[in-house]
Amino acid sequence: MKKMLGLAVSLFILLSGSVSAHGTDSMAAAEGKSAGLTVQVNGVQVVSTANHRSADGKLYVSGHAFAELFGKTFSVNKDHKTAAFNGKTVSIRMKNGEPTVWIRDLADAVHAQNVSWDKAKQEAYVLALPEGSIKISGVVPAMGEHWANPQAGDLPTGPIYGVYEGKLVFLEYMIAQDDFEKGVNHVNLPGMKGVPSPAVVQMDVEFQAHGHEGFEVPHYDIHAYFISDEEQQKIK
C-alpha cells in the first residue's frame, strides 16, 4: 500500500509540471524586467525590459514573452499596428524595439480568470487557469478558494486549483482509497497543461477516512503547494 502511494505521488509530481519549462533564474529575472515593475502569470515571471506603463497608467507587456509562457506564437501583422495571438487580433505598441500589448488584451486572449495590480509592490498578476475553470468554493482556511472545470468530467479526481487573493496557491487531486487497493491507474491527468506553472514548494498527502463534501468516500487528498507552509497557514 505504501509503495503504491509513493509511486502515485511521484507520478503526480511529474504530471503536474512541478518546475515550469518557462521559469527563469533570479539573475535572468533581474536583468530582464523593467526596473520596479513585475509581471507574473500564475506566479511565473514575464521577463522583458519592454514591459512598461503608459502615460495613462495602462500596463503593456511584451507580446513575445507572454506568448512564450503558453507555448504560443505571437505574430505581428503587416500593418505593424496589430498582432495575432491565440486566435485573437490585439493592438500593439512598440517599446525598445519590441511589440507590447495591454495586459488585459493578452489576458483575454488566453481566457485568463483574473488580472490584479499590487500598487505597493508594482506587481501585476494574471491568473490563467485552463479554460473553463470556475470557482467552486469560498476560501477554506490554510488553503484558499477551490477552482475546477465541472464541465470537463474531471471531478472528483481533479485537477482542482487553489486560489487566494487572485493568486494560484495549489494543485489538488483526490484519489479514492479503493483505487489504490485495486491498483487503478490515473494517467495523463490534465494538471497545468497549456498554462504556465510555478515550481512546487511543498506537498501534502492527507487521508480522509470518511471523505468530505464533494467526495464522500475514503480517499487521499494530494496537494502540491506553490507557496511555503508559512504562507499557507496565513490563509484565513
* 83, pLDDT greater than 60: yes
Q: Write down the pLDDT at residue 7.
A: 43
In percent, the amount of the chain with pLDDT more than 70 equals 85
- pLDDT, position 19: 38
User: What single string gives the DSSP state of each residue in 9-63?
Assistant: HHHHHHHHTSS-TT---HHHHHHHS-TT-EEEETTEE---TT-EE-TTS-EEEEH
Q: What is the pLDDT of residues 120-137, one digit of tens each?
A: 999 999 999 999 999 999
- Per the DSSP assignment, residues forming a β-bridge with 140 are 144
Q: With 90 as the cut, is the pLDDT of residue 67 above it? A: yes
The predicted pLDDT at position 32 comes to 47
At residue 232, the pLDDT reads 96
Find the mean pLDDT for residues 102-114.
98
Mean pLDDT of 5-23: 43
**What pLDDT score does 92 carry?**
98
- How far apart (Å, rounded) are the C-alpha atoms in residues 69 and 51? 15
The structural domains of the chain, ordered by start, are 2-20+130-233 (3.30.200.270), 26-70+73-109 (no CATH)
Is 29's pLDDT higher than 90?
no
Residue 15, pLDDT above cutoff 50: no
pLDDT of residue 36: 78
Work out the pLDDT band at 34, boundaries 50, 70, 90: low
Round to whole Å and give the CA distance between 126 and 85. Answer: 17
Burial 156-187 (b: 16+ CB within 10 A, else e): bbbbbbbbbeebbbbbbbbbbbebbeeeeeee
* Region for residue 211 given its phi and psi (left: phi exceeds 0; alpha: psi -120 to 50; beta: otherwise): left
Q: Which three cell numbers stand for residue 142?
A: 490554510
pTM: 0.84
Q: 79: which residues sit within 8 A by CB, 6+ positions away? A: none
- Kindly tell me if the per-residue pLDDT of 20 is higher than 90: no
Q: Per residue in 44-60, pLDDT tens?
A: 999 999 999 999 999 99
Task: Give 136-167 pLDDT, tens digit per residue.
Answer: 999 999 999 999 999 988 899 999 999 999 99
pLDDT tens-digit series, residues 176-210: 999 999 999 999 999 999 999 999 999 999 999 99
pLDDT, residue 12, reads: 47
Residue 17 has pLDDT above 70, yes or no: no
